[in-house]
Amino acid sequence: MIYSTHPRPQMERSQWQPLDGAWQFAYDDAAQWQRPDQPDFPLTINVPYVPESPRSGIQDEGFHPVVWYRRTVELPEGLAPDDAHDLILHFGAIDYISDIWIDGQHAASHTGGHTPVRIALGALIKGRSFEIVVRAEDDPADMHKPRGKQDWLAAPHGIWYPRTTGIWQSVWIERVGKTHVDRLHWTADFARFEIRLDARVARPSGCRLKVKLSLAGRVLVEDEYALTGKDTRRVLALPDPGIDDARAEYVWSPEHPQLIDAEVAVIDAAGNVVDAVKSYTAMRGVSTANGRFVMNGRSYFLRLVLDQGYWREGVMTASDEELRRDVELTKQLGFNGARKHQKIENPRYLYWADVLGLLVWEEMPSAYSFSTEAITRLSAEWQEAIERDYSHPCIVAWVPFNESWGIPELPHDARQRSYQQALYHLTKSLDPSRPVSGNDGWEQMATDIFAVHDYHHSGDVLDGRYRSETVFRDTLTTFRSAGRALALEGHAWAGQPVMLTEFGGIAFFMGQEAGWGYSQAKDADDFLVRYADVLRPTTESTLLAGYCYTQLTDTYQEQNGVLTMERKPKADIARIRAANLGVPVERLPQDPLGYNARWLARHGKAKA
């Protein structure tokens, strides 16, 4: 596979142009402007970095509820729309409510700070030059919107971090056919060794859809279908050798991240290709059974790390190199997955997780007040997030709620209980192929994974809670995490996989004067002793199906990462990895990214 540089690698076209870089910028603290000709745009901002970040060139963390952007675009030869082609403008994410004007015409409104905005420009622009104006409204005090870890106070405190206002993911334009692929979903059926394609094509009349799947340049499937409507569903059977050893060549896992290249083209009645998209998929199945997490038909122990996805220079935005490096570091530390906490991460991170082999739990950023408005907003944005990320093989679980955030009165409020269960079932109806952790941590009802948050600092105490089957069952019934029951009445543990999805949180301040964590180590050696102590019960337990350690990096004042915020290991990385794998250092696998012999035989040893 040739590495992609496209902002959305699962739906890549050859004719596209990035619009990141210098944009004109203005604050509108009084929310006095409603038209694109009103701001005077006295500032310049480096998109896609938010004005709170150093890389934006502004770095103002104050309360600014409304911001404006402006940029003039000059189209190169061959990119402008014409009778046969349209031009699509993409914003990866704008936090939170956005209005967009093209050459003074209002073109789009969007609500949701973590999901994309898409605008067809063909009917809005004339010639090869046009102006984009964006108004973004993001009320710092609004607790009814999905905001994740963004603080509502002037300065970050506790486990909350700086705000993210406005554009924070890439902006780009791409040329498409007037008839074009509008949507692609790939779903693997591991038991049948089939991949299902769900495609939506705009203006499909009289056209056909051609699909080709290839592995390392070898064609696996090539087929063509008449388009009888805008939506098409087809099942593509892979060549099935019938035995596991031969099947393994096709299968994706963290140890063998084999992707299948896909090409999808729309062909008109005259046989001309009017739109073509490069994509990829994978043969990968996940489920739960008999108290275990199952991947590709076999029990698979999850070694996850909680990943907040913040950078000191970019806040929630990172360079592509930084995103790739986070995936590599996570694997080098001995984890096989990351729980992206309270953030819908950049698709480029998910791309690198697909390519390099890292499991991802995708979690919806929480609202913090319960209301009809909060229900409507979060439910809509969650559906958009699942739509965007459905086809990534790295994603193996969805998490709509964390620790009853936004639904704080679950035990006493029937509406909140209905909401939690409804969002679980909505998620399962949109994607029945992945497990859902319904309310990660406590007060669980509808869920496929029984998720426990337990920050006790003693390995012996954790061992006592999760080693013996008798005590284990008692723990799931009587243990109260942060004073809250693990399950609500009538929803006791029913044999789902039990995972310690938050624990550890050992702070080691590395010379910082102030910081925060669940327990504190005095130096690197003490950190390693404590780390191995709390990891041991999870790796030795035969009853737990996995764990998620808190956390990958220090994040501002929260100093409980195994890496600093600059991604420097706080202690010997080999000893951290050994603790995660439950083996002595001298028995560590030689490959730093944990690839198996089959993968290494074809691709060689990974670079550390």
Domain with residue 107: its CATH number is 2.60.120.260
Does 594 reside within a domain?
no
pTM here is 0.97
pLDDT over 90 (residue 514): no
Q: Do 376 and 524 belong together in one domain?
A: yes
Q: Are strands 85-91 and 105-111 parallel, antiparallel or unpaired?
A: unpaired
pLDDT at 102 over 60: yes
Given this model, what pLDDT does residue 440 score?
A: 98
Pairwise CA distance, residues 9 & 346, whole Å: 11
d(CA 342, CA 335): 19
Of 530, 554, 578, the residue that ends a domain is 554
Among 112, 145, 174, the domain-final residue is: 174
Taking the CA atoms of 575, 577, 578 and 579 in sequence, report the sign of the dihedral they define: positive
Do 374 and 515 have their domain in common?
yes
Is there a single domain that holds both residue 29 and residue 155? Answer: yes
Q: What confidence score (pLDDT) does residue 606 get?
A: 57
Integer angstrom CA distances of residue 486 from 40, 48, 195, 447, 586: 54, 40, 37, 12, 38
Same domain, 164 and 310: no
Residue 534 tokens, joined: 């709390």
Residue 406 has pLDDT above 60, yes or no: yes
Kindly state whether residue 452 falls inside one of the protein's structural domains. Answer: yes
Q: Is the per-residue pLDDT at 536 higher than 90?
A: yes
Q: Tell me if 89 is assigned to some domain.
A: yes
Question: What average pLDDT score do residues 181-201 get?
Answer: 97
Residue 325 sits at φ, ψ, to 5 deg, of: -65, -35
Domain that holds residue 290: 286-554
CATH code, 475: 3.20.20.80
Domain membership flag for residue 155: yes
Sign (positive or negative) of CA dihedral 512, 515, 521, 527: negative
| Number of alpha helices (DSSP H) and beta strands (DSSP E) in the chain | 10, 35
Radius of gyration of the chain (CA): 24
Say whether both 157 and 296 belong to one domain: no
Last residue of a domain, one of 143, 174, 205: 174
Q: What is the distance between the alpha carbons of residues 140 and 555, in angstroms, rounded to a whole number?
A: 20
Domain count, the chain: 2
Q: Structure tokens of 480?
A: 């109260």
**Within-domain flag for 199:** no
> How confident is the model over 303-340, as pLDDT tens digits?
999 999 999 999 999 999 999 999 999 999 999 999 99
pLDDT (0 to 100) of residue 512: 59
The whole-number pLDDT of residue 513 equals: 54
Assigned domain for 228 exists: no
Is pLDDT above 90 for 244?
Answer: no
The answer to whether the bond into 551 is cis (omega within 30° of 0) is: yes
Note whether residue 109 is domain-resident: yes
Tell me the two tokens of residue 550: 């808190």
Q: How far is CA 43 from each of CA 40, 59, 599, rounded to the nearest angstrom?
A: 9, 12, 50
Give the pLDDT mean for 173-179.
96
What confidence category does residue 77 fall into, taking pLDDT thresholds of 50, 70 and 90? confident
Q: At what angle do helices 320-332 and 347-356 cross, to 10 degrees?
A: 40
Q: What is the pLDDT of residue 495?
A: 97
pLDDT at 525 over 70: yes
Whether residue 407 is found in the same domain as residue 541: yes
Distance CA 350, CA 277 (A): 19
Please check the confidence at residue 608 and state whether its pLDDT lies above 60: no
Cβ–Cβ under 8 Å, residues 117 and 94: yes
Average pLDDT of the residues in 438-465: 97
Which pLDDT does position 243 carry in this prediction?
77
Residue 166 and residue 311 share a domain:
no
Task: Report residue 184 as tokens.
Answer: 């692609």
Residue 541 has pLDDT above 80, yes or no: yes
Q: Is residue 318 part of a domain?
A: yes
User: In this structure, are 290 and 168 located in the same domain?
Assistant: no
